[in-house]
Chains A and B, each alone.
Chain A
Amino acid sequence: VAKTSLTSPPWPEVKLPDPAEEAKYHAEVVQKVNGLISAGRYGRLFAVVHFASKQWKITSEDLIMMDNVLEAECGDRIRMEKVLLVGADDFTLIGRPLLGKELVRVEATVIEKTESWPKVNMRFWRRHNYQRKKIIANPQTVLRINTIEIYPCLS
């Protein structure tokens, strides 16, 4: 059959490596990362966490504000599950889509439960003598992320 411009796809053909070799390589990499974690040779850790229907990229000691009411009093420690990604300077652990609870631990404290600034909600129809004005102040919570910890139990 003659070769036309559409016989092979336009992207370069990729050859996958041997599965056995790949498994060996994966095991080696996992062992190295485990060793690094257990030796404690990582600097700041950052994590991507799914919380309050939003994904946040957080490090330790940073502030997050959400537009809802949590059922925790001020000063309570909260543990966040649903961690999607954890990274340090040399390595990152990517979850599919979540990481295990024995791997990562993210702790936060509820600092403040205030209301937002007063927002004006006004409805007006012209020539119909209809206007309604309402002032809305949503409750908000402020959290401070205390720590992000990882434990060397990869596989």
Chain B
Amino acid sequence: RYVRQLQRLQLLFSPTAADARGARQFVEEAAQDFARQHPDVVLYVSPRSGPGPAPVLRAEYLNGTVRDELIASKTSEEIVQLATKLANQSGLDIIRIRKPFHTDYPSVQGQWHPLTNKPSILTVQGPRLQPQ
């Protein structure tokens, strides 16, 4: 009952640029293994010809966030590690989270208030009802 949050990985690079060497090696050697290990991620390889912007690995998640990672001048193992890291992430923004836990049902036996575990005379009579 586990759904991977990564939708697709787009590998945009140009086959002639010098800094896309790692991307080309990754495509030749490791892309097929990666695709087989993660069968629920779609991997698109789109080479764009001519001198263009830097090679980029774009990850799209199920909640619509798009994350770009530069792969210029990186070896193919580093790109594999980056890709696995992106595949294990979910599309939430990486900001400071205040609590490391989240529950929908915070209390099972009833939330504590100052009158639990006290004799019920206090709720019935009240603290100051006797005449002074």
A positions within 8 Å CB-CB of B? 43-46, 56, 58-59, 61-67, 74-75, 87-89, 92, 109, 111-118, 142
Q: Are A59 and B103 in contact (CB under 8 A)?
A: yes
Q: Are A111 and B102 in contact (CB under 8 A)?
A: no
Please tell me if B85 contacts chain A, counting CB pairs below 8 Å.
yes
User: Which 10 residue pairs across A and B have the least CB separation, nearest first?
Assistant: A75-B2, A62-B103, A113-B88, A65-B100, A63-B102, A114-B89, A46-B108, A112-B90, A44-B108, A117-B94
Q: A109-B2, A113-B89 are known contacts. Are A64 and B96 too (CB-CB below 8 A)? A: no
Give the tally of cross-chain contacts (CB within 8 A): 65
B interface secondary structure, majority: loop
Please tell me if B95 contacts chain A, counting CB pairs below 8 Å.
yes
Q: Are B101 and A56 in contact (CB under 8 A)?
A: yes
Q: Are B100 and A87 in contact (CB under 8 A)?
A: no
B13: shortest Cβ distance to chain A, in Å? Answer: 24
What A residues does B4 contact at CB under 8 A? 74-75
Looking at the complex, which one of B87, B101, B105 makes contact with A64 (CB distance below 8 Å)? B101
Looking at the complex, which one of A61, A67, A117, A118 makes contact with B104 (CB distance below 8 Å)? A61
